[in-house]
Homo-oligomer: A and B are copies of this chain.
Amino acid sequence: TDLEAGVREASNILVVGGCGALGADVCEKFKSSGFPVISADLRASEVAPENIVLGAEGGFPEQAERAVADAEKLFGERKCKAVICVAGGWAGGNASSKKLFETADLMIRQSVHSSLVAAKLATRLLDKDGLLVLTGSAAALQGTPGMLGYGLAKAAVHQLAASLAGEKSGLPEGATVLAIVPVVLDTPGNRGGDTTIHDDWTQLGDVSRLLHTWVTNKKQRPPSGSLVEIRTKDFKTETRVLAFGPAH
């Protein structure tokens, strides 16, 4: 089967943001399926056997170059079957918010900078027919007046996915780029200590399973550059494939 072939090739899965709630679930899913998993995050993952620990010193270009150098050193001649960027975060605030600049800066770091690092790593490490996944947000498909920084950062990620899917983007030939576009994920952060069960929140396992399907079976992947909205209703998770572009 496709799955067994994937495992046999022992191609690596690099998870950028492997220590977040979704990141840990993704690492666990691929690890338990027999894939070698490497996490890249600000600390070492408790799940992934290999880690790239990102430093926070210096500006973004320096940090990012260091991450790439560390990854190349760790990987050597090895290649990745998938680079999956699930780094991110959330902060609210409209234009009047006292912390507008601070939160926008943080959102850009967490979502855009991490996606750019994943993109660069994909150019160096991704196998032919490999998969690059970025993480967007359904909210940012429209305006987000109450969370300006979050929305603009996720919108930037959506456009970046479309760019990377284009000709001469720098990715290996045959690679697929997808942005997952969740509505609300069932994470400890989103719960905030509340134990209420929401029938319209998406379980992390649903997302990890989807990623696993795309990795192991290329035919299951939507067209490269797609925004794949992940929406849950009555505990049932469905996807909707959107193309980046303006609504006329």
Task: State the A residues within 8 Å of B (CB).
Answer: 59-61, 64-65, 94-97, 100-102, 104-105, 108, 112, 116-117, 119-120, 122-123, 140-149, 151-171, 225, 227, 242-248
Contacts and interface: CB of A to CB of B under 8 A. Distances in A.
Nearest to A62: B101
11 contacts: A61-B105, A94-B168, A97-B170, A100-B120, A104-B112, A144-B159, A144-B163, A145-B164, A146-B168, A242-B248, A243-B247
A159 B151 contact: yes
Contacts of A161: 143
Nearest to A108: B108
Nearest to A121: B95
A61 to B, nearest CB: 4
A164 B95 contact: yes
A122 B95 contact: yes
Contacts of A152: 112, 156-157, 159-160, 163
Contacts of A141: 245-246
Nearest to A150: B163
A97 B100 CA distance: 31
A123 B105 contact: no
Contact of A162 (B123, B142, B160, B163): B142
A68 to B, nearest CB: 9
Contacts of A225: 143
A121 to B, nearest CB: 9
Please list the 6 inter-chain residue pairs (A to B) with the smallest Cβ-Cβ separation, ordered nearest first: A143-B162, A145-B166, A155-B159, A96-B170, A245-B247, A95-B170
A160 B143 CA distance: 7
Contact of A140 (B97, B143, B159): B159
A101 B151 CA distance: 21
Contacts of A59: 105
Contacts of A122: 95
A117 B169 CA distance: 31
A152 B60 CA distance: 16
B144 A166 contact: yes
Contacts of A151: 159-160, 163
A104 B116 contact: yes
